[in-house]
Structure 1
């Protein structure tokens, strides 16, 4: 016994900076139970593999002709060529990384010896919330892993940024792919290198992995052979029951949309009705999640007669429905319906994201036709100039587009899961890997969250419409150049003379604020440019009573975006009241409240309608 005590004391003297108690949570106490659960987890992993392989063996899933791995290898090989083409550069790259590793090794030895740890390159990097567990710093093993990972990821990004001879698009793609790779290879994502998962595995004797692999098999089965990563408890939500609850009616229907009109909640309403054009990527009820968050309900309560376009979830029947179809059978159809229901020839219009891009193109076409049905336009996180369109441009070049079009033409549409994955990849460290860890390694069911339920309720893209959008906007930027052809006419945004309220969100990954700012200068009439806090969704869906975030106003959008922001006036809270005041400043005339459909149209169904219920 005394000998053991002496050994323990000797170990303490040898590593005074190491506390033996710190590893107690990592010591296996029931090897038999752990082995049994590992076997059960392996069995569930086998079921997951069967769910993935089965549809492919039966021919139900054809391998994609648009292979992102091929483009990744081709792009990163350009970076590699630069660094290995000259021995001096190769040595420079290796030395850069080796010096960082030596600093980490020195710090680790200091940590074991109890001496003050020397600073390393990893300490100068921004804090990363993935490494919030205290053992990423206190435990020498995990601290070493964290530092090696962070400096290696930073080194890889430097290789891209400092490589010469790359065109802008290739460098952009290379930087994006490097971020995807480093996000995937983080030690946080593996059971044996994540202290939280390691402790959970020991504490439950591996029961977390059993539950996680079972969930993985279920998610692949739910995706029909593709992983449908669950972000929330979908069993807790149902459209029309606890989502999209604002009372209203479907008063018209076309092949590609339903027109919803909402019941008034005020005795009088603004004379000009409000038409909302949401994106067809995902569904309109992001603006009507629940009564507390609903932009639609809030507008109704302010006295707007609200009409919303609810787009169809397209299938092979809609393959040839193109941009013009969405204009004529969507926006124009809605305008005709509104006039029948209210007798009004002019409306205020809102376009959100790609719905706003379509609205802008429609307005330019209307200007050619001397069509003045839309009196004012509000654009929410809408791009009309795609010069600074962000990371989504990574997926758009001639070669990738040709592959996507071939795939769409075969099916008649693009699977919603493809777009969902692209959007998730924009924020992989927030929308992919944390859920992989929590769901499949920790075995924890995600919490119910309405916004993430909506995010997972993806939609397909009609082949002709999506191809037109990608080519004319992301690839060739024709709308901003005045070179887009719609309805046989070449349209120009300069022809749009009506007042425009143009809202950007400061942290937007989909429609970057710099892109929205640049687009403001393309309209021919007065533009009020406004920036709100947060991102593409939370910045828009921000009810006033929450008193969250802020917005900035600063007059005409001219010069550089950064200079405009530096001079802009900040106001705490939601942009909604500011927008409503902007609408009333242009026309505040009121009339008695209108019932859905008026005297001319009968209700087809209750809101939120039937098109929104179709799931992929």
Structure 2
């Protein structure tokens, strides 16, 4: 009995999906091609080979000379400094012999491998980046800071505490393993409960469909700006990242400043939602929300705000609305949201045709991209901070990092539907269809330069998910008369959650008008002055300037859309 082509293809997909469980969802074919490309390029580059041999000998000589000198000069300048973001060897105990030699040798070895995996003529840029990333991950795993006998800070604590740190670390390890096996949240996350101490800004759910609940927040001022604000978070995250505990809640901050705020709370999809499309999120999310807001706050335009993937979708929706003459938007704000994906950072290392085909087979078998699979990719982008440093602190030093509301939120992940996520990765990340004019809505192409409303774009300095220079590209795509770009300190999440009380934060901000010449990002960074403090007040002032005169607050809901329940709603509670 023979199988038809469809059955044979499904059998192949099931085999690849099973294989993914052993490879942590990394395509073996993609990895093999990367290394074959590197080895074949290196094999026909004897000059590069000779250069690497010379560099290895020079580094060995430098380390030997420095070791001899440091024996007589304890304060001798090191022969290599860690990168600014590398905090592994900052403790003073690393300057003691022999640990200073150990960490210096490691850094020189790391530098040699960077030279070995980059600058090789003929090597594909994508393969070069993937190879350098893979080598860095491998070396980070074997860093001397990760092991008891080569980490002087851990050894010192072990001696001083009589080994109690290792006993405590063992308890942490067992606890984490049990939590992982049982699907529980990390230790301390149970102290942050949605609707109890996070996500507690008062409001009502005024609309619900299969994909989202729309929350309208209650006013706290006697007068409000006439034009409401609609916030569209990414469905890769739960909406309360913008409504954490009250001191860290952007929603509360906006409401207290006299804004009427609506927020989409996305449903957590299951395997039954496998065929949801990206356009379903546009129609049932953004467009349905605008319809409801038009009933609750009639005759008013809307300030739309999109975060991450929600910002990308908002830009697509705004471009389609502009194309069709829909003038319901007053302005567009995008938090850490990309519209051009050609330089989307190290996340692109996980995105090529072979890797996407492999990932699609995994999602096809499950119906969704699981939360653990998604979290693993993001952790690799910051493995030193999110994996190895955490393991050293928790299991070797026996010290738990205190849980906070943002960390607890980060552990409350959501899934991604198979069809939507595949479409998003292929059409936006891989093919860059939106920025290059090939993305269609209702079978007609959409373009960012159709958007005419004022745009406010926010990037963060240490964003590993949406690098700020990638976000900055909106200057090349938009054709609005007013585009404000703000760059804030912090990363993809911590940079956005920046309440005014955090005085150690800083930001840069400038506005480009239609007649202004383009400035490249590096020149912009050099010439734009730094402002100390949170960026929230600056954006809120911009928002207020673009809003109408103040008026009495609207009722919560309307005749056609009566309140369905209290905020934060029911979808946010779905596991």
Residue 540 of structure 2: aligned partner: 580
How far residue 605 of structure 1 moved from its aligned partner, in angstroms, is 2.2
**Gapped runs of 5+ residues in structure 1?**
1-58
Provide the rounded CA distance (Å) in 1 between the counterparts of 2:422 and 2:24.
Answer: 16
Distance in 1 (alpha carbons) for counterparts of 2:22 and 2:138: 22
**C-alpha separation in 1, matches of 2:207 and 2:60:** 65
Residue matched to 1:497: 452
What is the CA deviation profile of residues 217-246 of structure 1, one whole-angstrom value per residue up to 9, with x for unaligned ones?
4333433489x894x621321111111121
Spell out, residue by residue over 1:527-579, the C-alpha distance to the aligned partner (whole angstroms, 9 max, x if none). Answer: 22222222222322212243332222333282311112222233322222222
Corresponding position: 1:522 with 2:480: no
- What TM-score do you get using the length of structure 1 for normalisation? 0.84
Mean CA deviation greater in 575-584 or 494-503: 575-584
Partner Cα distance (1:466, 1:182) in 2: 31
Match of 2:56 in 1: 97
Q: 1:563 to 1:77 in 2, by over 3 A?
A: same
Deviation of 1:64 (Å): 5.7
Q: 1:291 to 1:126 in 2, by over 3 A?
A: closer
Distance, in Å, in 2 between the alignment partners of 1:485 and 1:107 is 61
Q: For residues 284 and 402 of structure 2, what CA distance do their matches in structure 1 show?
A: 39
Question: Following TM superposition, by how much is the alpha carbon of 1:524 offset from its aligned partner in structure 2, in angstroms?
Answer: 2.7
The answer to whether the Cα contact below 8 Å between 2:461 and 2:491 also exists between their aligned partners in 1 is yes
Q: Which sections of structure 2, spanning at least 5 residues, go unmatched?
A: 1-17
Matched, 1:455 2:414: no
TM-score by length of 2: 0.90
Q: Cα offset for 1:404? A: 0.7
Provide the residue aligned with 1:9 in structure 2. none
Seen in structure 2, the aligned counterparts of structure 1 residues 87 and 516 have a Cα distance that, compared at 3 Å, is closer
SS at match of 1:608: coil
Cα deviation 1:327-369 (Å, max 9, x = unaligned): 0111111112212322345211001111000000011112233
Q: How far apart are residue 154 of structure 1 and its match?
A: 0.9
Secondary structure of 1:367's aligned partner: helix
- Report if aligned partners of 1:273, 1:344 keep a CA contact under 8 Å in 2: no
Please, which of 496, 505, 508 is the counterpart of residue 549 of structure 1? Answer: 505
Q: 2 CA distance for matches of 1:158 and 1:288?
A: 45
CA distances 1:568-596 after superposition (whole Å, capped 9, x unpaired): 23332222222222223233322211232
Q: How does 1:263-274 map to 2 (within 5 A)?
A: 263-274=218-229
Distance 1:564 1:126, change over 3 A: closer
Deviation for aligned residue 1:602: 2.7
Equivalent residue, structure 2, for 1:159: 116
Q: Deviations over 1:379-438 (max 9, x none)?
A: 111100112211111110000001111111111100111221222222111111111112
Correspondent of 1:366 among 304, 321, 327:
321
1:66 aligns with 2:25: yes
> What's 2:257 paired with?
302
Separation in structure 1 between the aligned mates of residue 229 and residue 32 of structure 2, nearest angstrom: 48
Q: What is the total number of aligned residue pairs between the two structures?
A: 553
Corresponding residue to 2:172 among 215, 220, 223: 215
> Using a 3 Å threshold, how does the CA distance of structure 1 residues 488 and 117 change in structure 2: closer, same or farther?
same
Task: Please name the residue that 1:107 is paired with.
Answer: 66
What SS does structure 2 have at the residue aligned with 1:372? coil
Contact 2:82–2:107 (Cα < 8 Å) also in 1: no
User: In the alignment, which residue of structure 2 is the partner of 1:562?
Assistant: 522
Tell which structure's C-alpha radius of gyration is larger.
1
Q: Is the 8 A contact 2:369 2:415 kept in 1?
A: yes
SS of equivalent residue, structure 2 residue 486: strand
Q: Relative to structure 1, is the Cα distance of residues 442 and 348 closer, same or farther in structure 2, using a 3 angstrom cutoff?
A: same
Aligned residues of 1:549 and 1:573 also touching (Cα < 8 A)? yes
- Does the 8 Å contact 1:409/1:463 carry over to 2? yes
RMSD: 2.5
- State the secondary structure of the residue aligned to 2:385: helix
- Specify the SS of the correspondent of 1:482: coil
